[in-house]
Structure 1
Amino acid sequence: MATAKHLIGLVKSHAEGDQDRFFDLAMQLAATEQQKGHNRLAEQLRQWAEAAQQPKTKSSSNLTTLVEPRGDLAGLLSASYPSYRLNDLILPDFLAEELDHIVAEVHLTERLEEKGLRPRLRLLLSGPPGTGKTFSAQALAGELNFPLFSVQLNGLITKFMGETAQKLRMIFDAVRTTRGVYLFDEIDALAATRSSENDVGEARRILNSFLQYLDEDTGPSLIIATTNLPEILDRAILRRFDLVLPYELPSKEAVEKAIQKRLLNFDTHNVDWQNVSNAAKSLSVADVVVAAEDAARRSVLLDKNYIETSQLLNSMERRRKLHSLGTHIHEPQATSSDNSSSGRKKTL
């Protein structure tokens, strides 16, 4: 890791505004970490050092300006300014590295464009609920210091012919004129396959409009879509995204990391992590974190500053039962009528 001399030099040069000295020290530190075999850390240090050397363009000077959708857009977009960073995510290394590269590409857009390249600005995150897809969008916005605009699908999709396409046009006009991260969460409602047996003409028009607007988009915003059901997406959608990232349920290592990260204020030295990880099978990271918080609250109420294995196991079992109950509640009720399925509504 960095020596005290390096760290003092970095902080001193930053405080004095000496960008050249800061860059030199950062590159030296990257070389040192490379020699130690810390390749990923070295690459990140080089990327951020080089990004800091890039001149600030006029378009980037107002990236932190607080903006709030107004008028018709107020019912279509909600704005937030996440404080999360990529280091807050608990993801497999290959996903973390891809997201790191996305950030670097955005920061070094001019360098890429000089070589006839462009940063990847359209991402599709696919996987089960609770695996970190929406959290990743928030972390990217926080890392880039961009506002996060979440598309309100309940305000976007209407029963009136042509109205949804008009609203989509408004959103993509904002994508072009107001730089930010635009999140289409659970995009299945917009992008289900056009060959679906339940498809109607308006659904096809909405999808075609969405595809057209994606084709016309040339930046500078980051568009992120998420889906829990990749198998129902129209194949044409996949071709419109620069990168499709598969999110999965956590490994045993990720389960332990997520719990320990959430329970920093508690003593977890006596926890049987093997037992806990086995009990977390089929639970998402979000489920694991909620279970850890539940165990922590119960410890506080018992005036304890430590977490026991049994507490975590019981919390996970309660979480699993709640999941089972929720699934049962949302299952369509069977009836004796052959036509009963025609009135069922899909829960998004």
Structure 2
Amino acid sequence: MARAEQIKALFRAYAGNEDAQFISVALQVAADEARRGHDKLAAELRELIDKARAPAAPRARARTLPLVQPRGELAELLIAQYPQHPLKHMVLSKEVEQKLQRVLLEQRQHERLSGHGLSARRKLLLVGPPGTGKTMTAAVLATELKLPLFTARFDSLITKFMGESASKLRLVFDALKTTRGVYFFDEFDSLGMQRGAQHDVAEMRRTLNMFLQLIEQDTSDSIIVAATNHGASLDFALFRRFDDVIRYTAPDEVQIDALLRNRLALMAPNDLNWSKLIPYATGLSHSEITRACEDAIKDAILGDQENITEKSVRIHLQERTASQLNI
């Protein structure tokens, strides 16, 4: 029968709505059964997998059915998604996880807080280097609260014409009131740079001032999440407009170990020395470590190997580190 790690991986993929990962793990289970001489079971599993892959599968159709989509001018300003990324799948520092748990608790108990004249946290500023989980956090909040995720498109939001950017921004904040969701402003530094900065222009100042007014006046039930890679460059007036500022950093040794195990456990040999890999991942972001693990898995699959090798993981981690140094 399938190993415990394979069963857990199947459940994680299903819970996370990761169809490709689910199929990949299922194929590995079928292959394992075939190697053990259980030909009939392996054939039945492959038949079920082929049915699941079919385009007309009911489960696939149901998952892609949108519930709410922006229309008219809003369609150019917001991208709607319905993510399936629970908080338990993220590897975070204790401080960040505690802050997110607090946000979720207050949102789930917002009526109790309202009864005492208090408001739940819902305006969040995420600060940290690229690849540390800021974008995923917005998806996790939407998943946990069962809300749509609306991502603002700054390429459409910011224009060179006087007053047009502020008008579009006002339209987005009007949507916050009519459709409850998680509204994500990524790469927020493009809007929130310090007023008076060297590259500041009049239209950007007007747009920033409008954003400051709108976020302060907003009393909707939606969650506002802004993310930036450059916290030091943000206008100081922005920080007090948010209910919480959450700071992300590159993973420490404990988080690196968890990331490696989470991504590689299914194809790792029993004698893999995890601690030897940690130094090679130090300094890399969560996303870079994940991509290095995926590259090692690809090596194993394309090389017809049942397990990944420590050498392959080490090489891909080193490549990621070298590419960062050359940027």
Greater alpha carbon shift after TM alignment, 93-102 vs 151-160: 93-102
Q: Quote the residue 2:143 is aligned against.
A: 142
Query: 1:204: how far off?
Result: 1.1
For the 8 Å contact 1:270–1:308, the answer to whether it is kept is no
1:46-88 Cα deviation digits (max 9, x unpaired): xxxxxxxxxxxxxxxxxx9811001000000000000111111
Partners of 2:319 and 2:66 in 1: CA distance: 43
Query: 1:120: how far off?
Result: 0.5
Q: Quote the residue 1:92 is aligned against.
A: 93
Q: Quote the residue 1:244 is aligned against.
A: 245
Q: Match of 2:124, SS?
A: strand
Partners of 1:65 and 1:218 in 2: CA distance: 26
Q: Quote the residue 1:164 is aligned against.
A: 165
Query: 1:319: how far off?
Result: 1.8
Partners of 2:270 and 2:168 in 1: CA distance: 54
**Segments of 4+ moved more than 4 angstroms:** none
Partners of 1:248 and 1:271 in 2: CA distance: 27
Query: 1:198: how far off?
Result: 2.2
Partners of 1:271 and 1:252 in 2: CA distance: 17
* Aligned length, in residue pairs: 263
Query: 1:172: how far off?
Result: 0.1
Match runs of 1:119-268 below 5 Å:
119-268=120-269
Please, which runs of 5 or more residues in structure 2 have no aligned partner?
1-64
TM, length-normalised to structure 2: 0.78
Query: 1:268: how far off?
Result: 4.0
Please, which runs of 5 or more residues in structure 1 have no aligned partner?
1-63, 328-348
Query: 1:300: how far off?
Result: 1.4
For the 8 Å contact 1:146–1:181, the answer to whether it is kept is yes
Q: Quote the residue 1:67 is aligned against.
A: 68
Partners of 1:132 and 1:144 in 2: CA distance: 18
For the 8 Å contact 2:299–2:308, the answer to whether it is kept is no
For the 8 Å contact 1:259–1:288, the answer to whether it is kept is yes
1:99-145 Cα deviation digits (max 9, x unpaired): 11211111111100111111000001100100001001101100100
Partners of 1:274 and 1:267 in 2: CA distance: 14
For the 8 Å contact 2:142–2:181, the answer to whether it is kept is yes
For the 8 Å contact 2:183–2:224, the answer to whether it is kept is yes
Partners of 1:72 and 1:266 in 2: CA distance: 47
1:203-243 Cα deviation digits (max 9, x unpaired): 21111000000011112000000000000000000010000
For the 8 Å contact 1:81–1:146, the answer to whether it is kept is yes
Partners of 1:92 and 1:271 in 2: CA distance: 25
Give me the CA root mean square deviation: 1.4
Partners of 1:271 and 1:262 in 2: CA distance: 14
Partners of 1:269 and 1:177 in 2: CA distance: 53
Query: 1:94: how far off?
Result: 1.8
Partners of 2:123 and 2:272 in 1: CA distance: 41
TM, length-normalised to structure 1: 0.73
Partners of 2:316 and 2:177 in 1: CA distance: 46
Partners of 1:230 and 1:248 in 2: CA distance: 12
Q: Quote the residue 2:308 is aligned against.
A: 307
Q: Quote the residue 2:115 is aligned against.
A: 114
Q: Match of 1:257, SS?
A: helix
Letter paired with 2:322: K
Partners of 1:288 and 1:103 in 2: CA distance: 27
Q: Match of 1:150, SS?
A: strand
Letter paired with 1:294: D
Q: Match of 1:263, SS?
A: helix
For the 8 Å contact 1:270–1:309, the answer to whether it is kept is no
